[in-house]
Amino acid sequence: MSPAQPSAPQRLQPRGPSWNRRAWNAGVLSACWLAAATVVLPLALIVWHLLAKGLPAMNLAFFLHMPKPVGEPGGGMANAIVGTLILVALGAAIAVPIGVGAGVWLSEYGRGRFASMVRYTADVLAGVPSIVVGVVAYGLVVVPMGRFSALAGGVALGILMLPTIVRSTEEVVRLVPRSYREAALALGAPRWRTIQQVVIPAASAGIVTATMLALARAAGETAPLLFTALGNRFWSLQLDQPMASLPVFIFDYARAPYEDWNRQAWTGALVLIMLVTLLSAVLRITLRRLPGRS
């Protein structure tokens, strides 16, 4: 027997995956494409319908006039727009000092178990349904005061804003380079002045953006206002009285059996969404451009 001739080295032919694996691959990949398209579809539809149904009734009077009684055409939501701004400002007055303080604490002092408990609690608070917050604000403010009031609405919105402000403040303050702190300390500044006059100003752009994001979100909240600020068909700037707000107005007008009101609800929704999304879109872009943020 002759020794086995080593056969010519056979070139390893790269064989592609079998047809069924290729078919499966193509199926899965196109399903992902399809899913992405389907996810974007509702946004396109919502924006389209908002514009189509909301724009026709949008005019200057909508912003400047008071609501008209049923049957009378025209009228606007001036009081609701102003009411929303006041309620959000009230909420911010409560949530911003506390939220920024807690966020700075988390970033500058927050170590150990207590800090992670604060973080965890803030995260859990962010998940509390807004209607529950409304019920709580009702018990805390409306019941002792004996009536629905803008103040109660502000408290509810403040509770809702707080977790977002805390967590995002912590994030942006942490982005301030360590060298800033070292430089300030090296100059002889005590720690509190370092934080107050160097670290916080350095992070201020980020803190403002994060805060505005929380405000924008709160501006669109309806559920916590239903039984706190209640709503008001008249012009009112009194904080101890019921106050109108855009979302509650939209809710009432959308459920009313009058076509004219329904149209105005769409316009109100368009105004609200312009307020909220424009604000948050601009903010998201500026947030991205923030120094030190990848």
Residues 54-73 touching other proteins, rule: CB under 8 A, are none
**How many residues are given for the chain?**
294
Tokens of 236: 């009112």
Q: How far is CA 95 from CA 154, 157, 167, 192, in A?
A: 10, 9, 12, 22
Alpha helices per DSSP H over 55-149: 60-64, 78-108, 112-126, 130-137, 143-145
**Residue type at 57?**
A
By CB under 8 A, tell whether 138 contacts other proteins: yes
Residue 104 contacts other proteins per CB under 8 A: yes
Residue that the structure tokens 């991205």 belong to: 288
**Is residue 171 within the footprint of other proteins (CB under 8 A)?**
yes
Judged by CB under 8 A, the chain residues 238 through 277 that form the site for other proteins are 247, 250-251, 254-255, 262, 265-266, 269, 272-273, 276-277
The answer to whether the beta carbons of residues 84 and 246 sit under 8 Å apart is yes
- When binding is defined by CB under 8 A, the residue of 65, 66, 208, 222 that contacts other proteins is 222
Nearer to other proteins, 64 or 128 (CB): 128
Q: Give 204's contacts (C-beta < 8 A, 6+ positions apart).
A: none
**Of 51, 55, 121, 234, the one binding other proteins by CB under 8 A:** 121
Site string for other proteins, 8-27 (x = CB under 8 A): ---------x---xx-xx-x
Of 79 and 252, which has the nearer Cβ to other proteins? Answer: 252
The CA distance from 294 to 71, in Å, is: 55
Tokens of 34: 């399809």
Tell whether residue 201 is a contact of other proteins (CB under 8 A). Answer: no
- 129 scored as a contact of other proteins (CB under 8 A): yes
Kindly tell me which residue out of 62, 77, 83, 221 binds other proteins, with binding defined by CB under 8 A: 221
Q: Binding of other proteins at residue 49 (CB under 8 A)? A: yes
d(CA 229, CA 218): 14
Which range of residues in 44-52, 61-69, 74-82, 232-240 is near other proteins by CB under 8 A?
44-52
Per rule CB under 8 A, is residue 291 in the interface with other proteins? Answer: no
